[in-house]
Amino acid sequence: MHAALMMLVDGRFPAGGHTNSAGVEAAVRVGDIRDEPSLRRYLTGRLATTGIVDAAFSAHTAGLAPPFDEQLIALGLEYSARVPSPNLRDVSTRFGRQMLRAGAQVWSSPLLDAVASGQPGVHQPLILGAIAQAAGGTPNDAALLSLHHLAAAVTSAAIRLLGLDPMSVAAMQAEMSEQIDACANDADLWAGACPADLPANSGSLTEILAEDHGRWDARLFVA
Amino acid sequence: MKGHGSIVVAGRNVAAGQGSRLQSAYAEPPFSIRECGERVLIAASAAAPLGGDELSLRVAVEAGARADIGTVASTIVLPGPTGAPSTMFTDCSVARGGHLEWVGEPTVSVGGSDHTVSTTVRLEELATCRIVEEVSLGRSGEPSGTLRLVLRVERCGQPLVHHDELFGPSVPGAGSVVSVGPARHVLSEVVVGVETGESRSVVGSESRAAWLPVADDAVLLLAVGPDRPAVLAAVAEVYRKPS
């Protein structure tokens, strides 16, 4: 890994990731996440569902070769079809916009230009993939970045909401590294796949609770 | 067992709006296909699916026709003698202006089974559909097997819904809200050709449901709960709720 990619891993990169709890805020409210074991169970499930889907779309985008416009449109439609919650789709394009604003100032590439000048409302995993490519990353790098962002969002949100011990949560996340790495094993396969065949792993309650969360009067996180 | 079935529904006289008819039906065991008033019903002629079974069904709704297809009874998914998984692939196409109504009785995943239900619906221009799938996770007081539900709906070649969900006690995150929490009954309903309005959600302590528009005229409704009455009540509440 090189320095440019490390900027994307760094939580201080101004892409707005700290406002995403990846569903943890809603899960805490309904009592599903209470402690470290239930947090671990949640992260395990989330990696295998939305985690895989986002990683796959990032990996595919990171592997794109020109011409880009039609491929980006097809990818956007496929991703939208996998996110039935309108709130989650909206959050994804908002995070995408924020990440693109930061990324397009730092890097430039034909793909990033195509993303920035094409239709608005590009989903975050596609933006991450385009930025990863511009920063010299492979599809596997893009998938790992996506999965790491998810793990970081879940664990840091749980620490803030439940007051869990940050060191012991970090140890838990480290213990799950092998599992996280394994989720990206198919990155090259995803890069070469037809967009319709990319994973669509999902959970009914993920969508239901995320839609409900969007309507809360007061919340700490965007999603 | 490998079994295939096929149903073709055509319009009688589309221009005159004279209703639809079952144009052809073909069924190998475990399927048998019967016309029942306005509906076409699939009855099981053998115990299936058992582990190892590969089942497939093809449904074609011709231009302007309306097909109302269902199942006579619940589908009990049982493990087979070898531990092999079973599959049920359903491929539906609805031609221009046609409508497919598919409301099946619940699929019951019995402990130890490993079953995939994959349904693809392709709609041409002006075609509509309502697809309702229900799943009971285990018989009363028993754990469920592993069940994978895949649903993909396309309109004019573009995806509207692609949902791939894995249920069971050994799936990653089982028991958490990433999966279906402690729920034992799950319903998903796709409606294309409806004025969706805004999204709605019902989050009670036991049952949760949401009305999730995926286009101006298409929606995915998801509901989970402890049992069928609770889930159907949550679905009714979502339908009633003003958006």
ipTM of model: 0.96
Q: Do B177 and A27 touch (CB under 8 A)?
A: yes
Q: Do B201 and A44 touch (CB under 8 A)?
A: no
Q: What's the rounded mean pLDDT across residues A36-56?
A: 98
Residue B147 burial (CB count, 10 A): 25
Q: Would the pLDDT of B70 be above 70?
A: yes
> Contact at 8 Å (CB) between A33 and A22?
no
pLDDT score, position A5: 85
- Confidence class of residue A7 from pLDDT cuts 50, 70 and 90? confident
Q: Would the pLDDT of B13 be above 80?
A: no
Give the SS3 label for residue A52: helix
State the pTM of this model: 0.97
pLDDT score, position B179: 87
pLDDT score, position A10: 83
pLDDT score, position B228: 97
Q: Do B176 and A208 touch (CB under 8 A)?
A: no
Q: Do A45 and B172 touch (CB under 8 A)?
A: yes
B212 reaches A (C-beta below 8 A): yes
Averaged pLDDT of chain B: 95
In chain B, the residue whose alpha carbon lies closest to the alpha carbon of A23 is B178
**A67 preceded by cis ω (within 30°)?**
yes
Q: Would the pLDDT of B14 be above 70?
A: no
A200 reaches B (C-beta below 8 A): yes
- Confidence class of residue A9 from pLDDT cuts 50, 70 and 90? confident
Q: Residues of B with CB below 8 A from A205's CB?
A: 177-181, 183, 208, 224
pLDDT score, position B241: 84
pLDDT score, position B11: 86
- Confidence class of residue B136 from pLDDT cuts 50, 70 and 90? very high
Q: Out of B150, B158, B208, name the one closest to residue A205 (CB).
A: B208
**Which residue in A75, A83, A200 sits closest to B212, CA to CA?**
A83
HEC profile of chain B: CEEEEEEEEEECCHHHCCCEEEEEEEECCCEEEEEECCEEEEEECCCCCECCCEEEEEEEECCCCEEEEEECCCEEEECCCCCCCEEEEEEEEECCCCEEEEECCCEEECCCCEEEEEEEEEECCCCEEEEEEEEEECCCCCCCCEEEEEEEEEECCEEEEEEEEEECCCCCCCCCCCCCCCCCEEEEEEEECCCCCCCEEEECCCCEEEEEEEECCEEEEEEEECCHHHHHHHHHHHHHCCC
A37 reaches B (C-beta below 8 A): no
Q: What's the rounded mean pLDDT across residues A103-116?
A: 94
**What does the pLDDT look like over B165-214, one tens digit per residue?**
999 999 999 999 998 999 999 999 999 999 999 999 999 989 999 999 99
- Confidence class of residue B19 from pLDDT cuts 50, 70 and 90? confident
Q: Would the pLDDT of A1 be above 70?
A: no
pLDDT score, position B95: 97
pLDDT score, position B242: 76
- Which range (A7-21, A49-63, A134-148, B56-70) has the least confidence? A7-21
> Contact at 8 Å (CB) between B220 and B151?
no
Task: Name the domain count of chain B.
Answer: 1
> Contact at 8 Å (CB) between A176 and A40?
yes
Query: From the centroid of its chain, how far is CA B73?
Result: 14
Q: Residues of A with CB below 8 A from B175's CB?
A: 41
Q: Would the pLDDT of B57 be above 90?
A: yes
A182 reaches B (C-beta below 8 A): no
Instruction: Report the alpha-carbon distance of residue A25 to residue B49 in Å, rounded.
Output: 40
Q: Do B176 and A47 touch (CB under 8 A)?
A: no
Q: What's the rounded mean pLDDT across residues A200-206?
A: 97
pLDDT score, position B243: 63
Q: Do B164 and A47 touch (CB under 8 A)?
A: no
**What does the pLDDT look like over B84-120, one tens digit per residue?**
999 999 999 999 999 999 999 999 999 999 999 999 9
Residue A141 burial (CB count, 10 A): 24
Q: Would the pLDDT of A159 be above 80?
A: yes
Averaged pLDDT of chain A: 95
Q: What's the rounded mean pLDDT across residues A32-46?
A: 97
Per the structure, the complete domain to which residue B212 belongs is given by 2-240
A90 reaches B (C-beta below 8 A): no
Instruction: Report the alpha-carbon distance of residue A126 to residue B243 in Å, rounded.
Output: 31
**Which residue in B115, B47, B113, B46 sits closest to B81, CA to CA?**
B113
Q: Do B152 and A200 touch (CB under 8 A)?
A: yes
Q: Out of B159, B160, B186, name the one closest to residue A204 (CB).
A: B186
